[in-house]
Amino acid sequence: MNPADDSPRNPPRRPRPIDGSSFVEGDAAPVLPGAGEETRRPPAAPGAAEPPASMSDSALLRAVSPPLPPEIATATATARFGKFVRLKKLGQGGMGEVWQAWDVPLGRWVALKFLTGGDETEIARFTQEAHVAGKLAHPNITAVYEVGEAQGRHFIAMQFIDGTTAAKLPRGDRRMLVRVIRDAARAVGEAHRAGVIHRDIKPDNLLVRGARGGAGAADDFHVFVTDFGLARRTEGASGLSLSGAIIGTPSFMPPEQARGEKVDVRADIYALGATLYDLLSGEPPFGGATLFELLRAVQDRDAPSMRVRVPAIESDLDTIVLKCLEKDPARRYQTAEDFAADLDRFLEGEAIAARPASLVYRVRRTLWKKRAMVAVGLAGLAAVALTLAAM
């Protein structure tokens, strides 16, 4: 600001409270009150000496505020958003983008998620993510700090994880990959106990901090389940996903979700199994040249054994994953804890609880599918006959 502007005709603007909208594009870097402006003095930390009464308000805030990281202290004005300073974009999806940012008042890194555009339904779903995830407290679920709107943009401030997604983990250590999904299953089980279904579990929605991979890698990583954008509470309908609407990621969703039906916790168990299948075999259980082909495969085809793609995979591990991928939810693990417990048994060399589908069941299912195909074919022939008769 030009000193000539500090005149009675142009008094300096008083900063607004730091409430998510205090930074304005073009403001100077640190948001600190100017000389002579009133500041609420924060209480001193226990055991700390009181600052001198003569200390100026600006000096006081500089003394008690957490120091800015060098890359934030030199950030340009365009990096500012509300009380946050953005550093770099971490990713972008269908609904929005995520940035690493610095929370100036609290002095911590956050993952700042923005909604890109969006109608009223998308805004409601975006806000629901924060409200649902904010009620979950578990060491393997990313914490939500704040949800709000500033500078015309809706945002969620979340725990920043300095790691990578499970999709980018090295695939050489199968036991490490199993432990990643086991820990994720325990977190998902906690969400289920709180009445929350995720509905979009996939490798990109699992963050891993500290995983090195490779033979003999230390078990010092930490897994976080994130992105509850499609989550819903089990009691009552949310109103954000109508019957018949297909919501989620087709490669990792169960057949009932692909049909647009109402799902329960066993949909997440299927998705956890599909995610482990992808990590171990290198690709999801089903594929297709088009979305329609993929959705039909998810609904109609049985997942092939992972050992067809990777013969070295242990048969017990293959059995566990295929149990998650059963078409009938009643044949899957009924809780995420049961799934995690069987993965623990595998890791510890104990007998697993899952059993391969019996020959009788496989034959009956094959006959049922063929009968359904015959019924569809007969219905088509009947329609053709009626059409010809009417001509």
Three-state SS string over 240-301 comes to: CCCCCCCCCCHHHCCHHHHCCCCCCHHHHHHHHHHHHHHHHHCCCCCCCCCHHHHHHHHHHC
Residue 62 has pLDDT above 60, yes or no: no
Catalytic, 300? Answer: no
Q: What is the band of 370 on the pLDDT scale with cuts at 50, 70, 90?
A: low
Name the CA dihedral angle for 296, 297, 300, 305, rounded to a multiple of 10 degrees: -170
**∠ Cα 79 83 87 (to 5°):** 30
**Intra-chain end-to-end CA distance of the chain, in Å:** 85
Q: What is the band of 124 on the pLDDT scale with cuts at 50, 70, 90?
A: confident
Residues 6+ apart with CB under 8 A from 253: 199, 267, 270, 271, 274, 298
Q: What is the band of 228 on the pLDDT scale with cuts at 50, 70, 90?
A: confident
Residue 305 has pLDDT above 50, yes or no: yes
Name the CA dihedral angle for 190, 191, 194, 200, rounded to a multiple of 10 degrees: -160
How far does Cα 265 stand from its chain's mean position? 16
CA-nearest of 159, 157, 185, 158 to 83 is: 157
| pLDDT recorded at residue 41 | 47
- Residue reference for tokens 């009643």: 330
In the predicted model, what is the mean pLDDT of residues 34-51?
45
| Tokens found for residue 92 | 């972008």
| pLDDT recorded at residue 123 | 81
Comparing 234 with 281, the larger pLDDT belongs to 281
CA distance 349 to 178: 13
| pLDDT recorded at residue 327 | 96
| pLDDT recorded at residue 121 | 78
Q: What is the band of 342 on the pLDDT scale with cuts at 50, 70, 90?
A: very high
**∠ Cα 248 251 253 (to 5°):** 50
3-state SS assignment for residue 322: helix
CA distance 391 to 386: 9
Residue 139 has pLDDT above 50, yes or no: yes
Q: What is the band of 240 on the pLDDT scale with cuts at 50, 70, 90?
A: very low
- Residue reference for tokens 């001509």: 391
Comparing 195 with 49, the larger pLDDT belongs to 195
Residue 99 has pLDDT above 90, yes or no: yes
Q: What is the pLDDT of residues 147-203, one digit of tens each?
A: 888 888 889 999 999 999 999 999 889 999 999 999 999 999 999 999 999 999 999
Catalytic residue among 173, 200, 204, 227: 200
